[in-house]
Structure 1
Amino acid sequence: MLLDSASLYFRAYFGVPESVTAPDGTPVNAVRGLLDFVSRLVADYRPDDLVACMDADWRPQWRVDLIPSYKAHRVAEEHPGEEADEEVVPDTLSPQVPVIEEVLDALGIARVGVAPYEADDVIGTLAARAAGPVDIVTGDRDLFQLVDDARGVRVVYPVKGVGNATVMDGTALREKYGVDGSGYADLALLRGDPSDGLPGVPGIGEKTAAKLLDAYGDLAGIMAAVDDPSSRLTPAQRRRLAEARPYVEVAPKVVRVAADVPLPAYDPELPRAPRDPERLAALGKQWGLGGSLERLLTTLRG
Structure 2
Amino acid sequence: MNAPRPLLLVDAPSLYFRAYFGIPESAAKAPDGSPVNAVRGFLDMLATLIRTRRPDRLVCALDHDWRPAWRVALLPSYKAHRVAPAGGEVVPDTLVPQVPLILDVLAAIGIPAVGAAGYEADDVLGTLAVTQPGPVEVASGDRDLFQLVDDAHPIRLLYCGRGVAKLEDYDDAAVRARYGVPATGYADFAALRGDPSDGLPGVAGVGEKTAARLVDRYGGLDGILTALGDPASGFAPGLRTKLEAARDYLAVAPKVVRVALDVPLPDFSTALPAAPVDEARLLELAEKWNLASPCRRLVDALTDAAA
Indicate the TM-score class for this superposition, using the shorter chain for normalisation: over 0.9
Of 32, 40, 54, 1:46 maps to 54
Residue of 173, 178, 181 corresponding to 1:179: 181
1:200 is aligned to 202
Cα distance in structure 2, aligned partners of 1:160 and 1:223? 36
The correspondence for 1:217, drawn from 208, 219, 229, is: 219
- In the alignment, residue 210 of structure 2 is paired with which amino acid? T
Specify the alignment match of 2:143 in structure 1: 141
Counterpart for residue 250 of structure 1:
252
Give 1:273-292 correspondences, 5 Å limit: 273-292=275-294
Deviant stretches of 4+, over 2 Å: none
**Partner residue, 1:160:** 162
1:202 aligned partner, one-letter code? A
Which residue in the other structure is 2:128 paired with? 126
In the other structure, the counterpart of 2:231 is: 229
Amino acid in structure 2 at the alignment position of 1:220:
D
SS of the residue corresponding to residue 184 of structure 1 reads helix
Residue 112 of structure 1 is matched in structure 2 by: 114
Q: CA 1:159 to 1:192, structure 2 compared with 1: closer, same or farther past 3 Å?
A: closer
Q: Indicate yes or no: 2:71 matched with 1:69.
A: no
Q: Which residue of 1 aligns with 2:90?
A: 88
Distance 1:267 1:22 in 2: 32
Q: CA deviation at 1:77?
A: 3.0
Offset at 1:169? Answer: 1.2
Q: Cα distance, 1:29 vs. partner?
A: 0.6
C-alpha distance in structure 1 between counterparts of 2:280 and 2:131, whole Å: 34
Give the TM-score taking structure 2 as reference length.
0.95
Q: Secondary structure at 1:2's aligned position in 2?
A: strand
**CA distance in 1 between partners of 2:181 and 2:240 (Å):** 21
SS of residue paired to 1:137: strand
Structure 1 runs not aligned, ≥5 long: 79-83
The 5-angstrom pairing of residues 20-59 of structure 1 reads 20-59=28-67
Q: Percent identity?
A: 59
Tell me, which stretches of 5 or more residues in structure 2 are unaligned? 1-7
Residue equivalent to 2:18: 11
Residue deviations 1:201-225 (CA, integer Å, cap 9, x gap): 1111110011011111111000001
How many equivalent pairs are there?
296
Which AA in structure 1 matches 2:266? P
Measure the CA separation in 2 of the matches of 1:103 and 1:131.
27
Q: Distance in 1 between matches of 2:23 and 2:136?
A: 28
1:271 aligns with 2:278: no
Q: CA deviation at 1:161?
A: 2.2
What code does the residue aligned with 1:13 have? Y
Distance 1:160 1:181 in 2: 21
Quote the Cα distance in structure 2 between the aligned partners of 1:252 and 1:193: 12
- Aligned counterpart, 1:81: none
Counterpart-to-counterpart distance in 2, 1:103 and 1:165: 24
SS at match of 1:50: strand
